[in-house]
C-alpha cells in the first residue's frame, strides 16, 4: 500500500477524492458526496471554482514563486484588501493558520520586551485550539494536542472561555500580562459561541490594561459567520487578527493582520517566511475575495446558517440526548450526550462529509455556495443518523 510511505498522523476515511464541483466531491470509485466540511472550513467557494482555477492557472504560467527579497504585486494588493476588511494597518503573509498565530505570539513577546517586560504573559482560554507548532499547541487548551510534546512553551495564562471576570482575576494574580489570544467562536473546542458582549468586554479589558487584543479568526474569518470577521458582530477591532483557512479556497496561505503599535513591532530580521505571500497563493486569495464580495456570499452564509439552524432545531431540538444546537453563519455544532465520533463514518456511508470535534459535537462547516436544497439535505442526513445513533444508545443502556 502506498500510504505506508506516509507518517501515521491521520485517521483517514476509506476514499480517495479525485474531483470536486461546488459542494460536491467524487471519489475514485465514482461515488458522489455532499461536502459539509469544506476541507475543514477552507473551501468557502466549494471545489474547482472557475474564478480561482483561472487565477491560479494564469499566475502559474507567469510566476509561481519569488522570495520576499523582492516586492510582490499580488501580495501588496491582497494586504491592502485584507487590512481594509479587517480594520488593520499591516499584514504579514505566511502559509497556514498555525504560522499566523505563531506570528501573533511573536508580536506579543517582542512588544513586551520593547517595554521592558522580561517575563511576558499571554492570556489564552480553556478548550482553545491555535495550531500545532510548539508555541501554538502550548497556547491551545487541549491535552490531546499537547501530550508527548512537553516541555511546553511557558508564559500562557489559561482562563475559562466566555468568562471575562476570570481574565480580570488573572490580571490581578499574574504581573506582566501583555496580550490576550482568543477565538471569537471556538471551533475545535466544539463550536462554542460566547454570550453576546463577550468580545466587547475583551476589548475594554485590553484597553484598560494596555494589552494587545489578538483574535484567532482562522476558522471564523473571511465570511463564515455571516460577517467578514466575527469580531465585527460586536463592532470591535482587534489589535492583531489571524486569518487563514478560507482566504485562498484551498491554496495554502495564512496572514497576521495588525494595527497600532502591533503593526510596527516586527522589522527586517525579526521574522520571515520562504513561501509566504508568494505570487500564486496571493493570486488565489485575491480571486477568492473577489468572488465572495461579488456574489454576496458573506450575507449568504448568514442566511444559510439561519436556515440550517432552524431545520436542526425543528428536527432535533426536542430529541433526548441532544444537548445543544448552536452556531453562527455556516459554523454549526450539534452537541450530543455521548461521544459520537462514529457518526463521521455513518454520515460518510450516507454520502455526507462532516466532522466530530471535542468528542461529542458534530461540526458542520459547509461551503458558502450551497444551494437551499443542499442545505436542507445536510439537515436531513445529519438528523437521520443522529436519531438512529441515539436510539441505539438508548437501547444499549
CB 367 within 8 A of CB 23: yes
Residues 87 and 26 both lie in one domain:
no
Residue at a domain's end among 245, 263, 294: 294
Number of folded domains that form the chain: 2
Predicted local confidence at residue 199, as pLDDT: 98
Return the CATH number at 336: 3.90.1150.10
**Together in a domain, 171 and 271:** yes
Instruction: Specify the pLDDT at position 51.
Output: 98
Give mean pLDDT in consecutive 10-residue pieces for the chain, a chain of 397 residues.
87 96 98 98 98 98 98 98 98 98 98 97 98 98 95 98 97 96 98 98 98 98 98 98 98 98 97 98 98 98 98 97 98 97 98 97 98 98 98 90
* Predicted pLDDT of residue 2: 75
| 144 carries an active-site annotation | no
pLDDT of residue 1: 57
- DSSP conformation letters of 29-96: T--EEEESSHHHHT-TT-BS-HHHHHHHHHHHHH-S---TTS--HHHHHHHHHHHHHHT-SEEEEESS
Task: Give the three-class secondary structure for 196.
Answer: coil
- Are residues 165 and 249 both part of a single domain? yes
Question: For this structure, is 216 an active site residue?
Answer: yes
| Structural domain of 345 | 2-48+296-396
- Looking at the fold, whether 18 and 164 belong to one and the same domain comes out as no
Residues 261 and 350 in one domain: no
Q: Which of 35, 93, 245, 368 is catalytic?
A: 245
Question: Does the annotation count 106 as an active-site position?
Answer: no
Residue 340: exposed, middle, or buried by beta-carbon count in 10 A (0-12, 13-18, 19+)? buried
Q: Which of 259, 278, 294 is the last residue of a domain?
A: 294
Q: Torsions phi, psi of 260, nearest 5?
A: 65, -145
Q: Which one is catalytic: 92, 156, 216, 312? A: 216
* Claim to verify: residue 95 and residue 181 sit in the same structural domain: yes
Domain CATH code at residue 248: 3.40.640.10
**Model confidence pLDDT, tens digit, residues 314-366:** 999 999 999 999 999 999 999 999 999 999 999 999 999 999 999 999 999 99
Q: Put the strands of the sheet holding 17-21 in their side by side order.
A: 17-21, 24-27, 32-35, 352-353
Residues 9 and 75 in one domain: no
pLDDT of residue 22: 98
Same domain, 282 and 333: no
Among 247, 278, 294, the domain-final residue is: 294
Measured CA to CA, the distance from residue 184 to residue 201 in angstroms comes to 12
Give the per-residue pLDDT at 362: 98
133 with 6, same domain? no
Scanning the structure block, which residue is given the C-alpha cell 500500500?
1
Question: Residues 188, 269: one domain?
Answer: yes
Given the residues 129, 161, 229, 368, select the one marked as catalytic.
129
Residue 67 and residue 38 share a domain? no
State pLDDT tens for residues 237-268.
999 999 999 999 999 999 999 999 999 999 99
The answer to whether residues 166 and 197 belong to one domain is: yes
Amino acid at each position: 500500500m502506498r500510504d505506508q510511505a506516509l507518517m501515521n498522523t491521520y485517521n483517514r476515511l476509506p476514499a480517495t477524492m479525485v474531483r470536486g464541483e461546488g459542494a460536491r466531491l467524487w471519489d475514485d470509485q465514482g461515488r458522489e458526496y455532499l461536502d459539509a466540511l469544506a476541507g475543514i472550513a477552507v473551501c468557502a467557494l466549494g471545489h474547482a471554482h472557475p474564478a480561482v482555477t483561472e487565477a491560479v492557472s494564469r499566475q502559474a504560467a507567469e510566476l509561481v514563486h519569488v522570495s520576499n527579497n523582492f516586492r510582490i504585486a499580488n501580495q501588496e494588493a491582497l494586504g491592502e484588501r485584507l487590512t481594509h476588511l479587517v480594520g488593520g494597518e499591516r499584514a504579514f503573509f505566511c502559509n497556514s493558520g498555525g504560522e499566523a498565530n505563531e506570528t501573533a505570539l511573536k508580536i506579543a513577546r517582542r512588544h513586551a520586551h520593547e517595554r521592558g517586560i522580561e517575563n511576558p504573559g499571554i492570556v489564552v482560554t480553556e478548550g482553545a485550539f491555535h495550531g500545532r507548532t510548539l508555541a501554538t499547541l502550548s497556547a491551545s487548551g487541549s491535552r490531546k494536542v499537547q501530550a508527548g510534546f512537553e516541555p511546553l512553551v511557558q508564559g500562557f495564562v489559561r482562563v475559562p472561555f466566555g468568562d471575562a471576570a476570570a481574565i480580570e482575576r488573572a490580571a490581578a494574580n499574574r504581573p506582566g500580562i501583555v496580550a490576550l489570544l482568543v477565538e471569537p467562536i471556538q471551533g475545535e473546542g466544539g463550536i462554542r459561541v460566547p454570550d453576546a458582549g463577550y468580545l466587547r468586554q475583551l476589548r475594554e479589558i485590553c484597553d484598560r490594561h494596555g494589552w494587545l487584543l489578538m483574535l484567532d479568526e482562522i476558522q471564523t474569518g473571511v465570511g463564515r459567520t455571516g460577517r467578514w470577521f466575527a469580531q465585527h458582530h460586536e463592532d470591535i477591532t482587534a489589535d492583531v487578527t489571524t486569518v487563514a483557512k478560507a482566504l485562498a479556497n484551498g491554496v495554502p496561505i495564512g496572514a497576521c493582520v495588525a494595527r497600532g503599535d502591533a503593526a510596527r513591532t516586527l522589522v527586517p530580521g525579526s521574522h520571515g517566511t520562504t513561501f509566504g505571500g508568494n505570487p500564486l497563493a496571493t493570486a488565489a486569495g485575491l480571486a477568492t475575495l473577489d468572488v465572495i464580495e461579488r456574489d454576496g456570499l458573506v450575507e449568504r452564509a448568514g442566511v444559510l446558517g439561519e436556515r440550517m439552524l432552524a431545520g436542526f432545531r425543528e428536527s432535533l431540538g426536542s430529541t433526548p440526548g441532544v444537548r445543544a444546537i448552536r452556531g453562527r453563519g455556516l459554523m454549526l455544532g450539534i452537541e450530543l450526550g455521548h461521544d459520537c465520533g462514529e457518526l463521521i463514518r455513518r454520515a460518510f456511508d450516507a454520502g455526507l462529509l462532516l466532522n466530530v470535534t471535542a468528542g461529542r459535537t458534530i461540526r458542520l462547516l459547509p461551503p458558502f455556495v450551497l444551494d437551499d436544497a443542499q442545505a436542507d439535505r445536510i439537515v436531513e442526513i445529519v438528523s437521520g443518523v443522529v436519531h438512529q445513533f441515539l436510539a441505539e444508545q438508548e437501547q444499549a443502556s
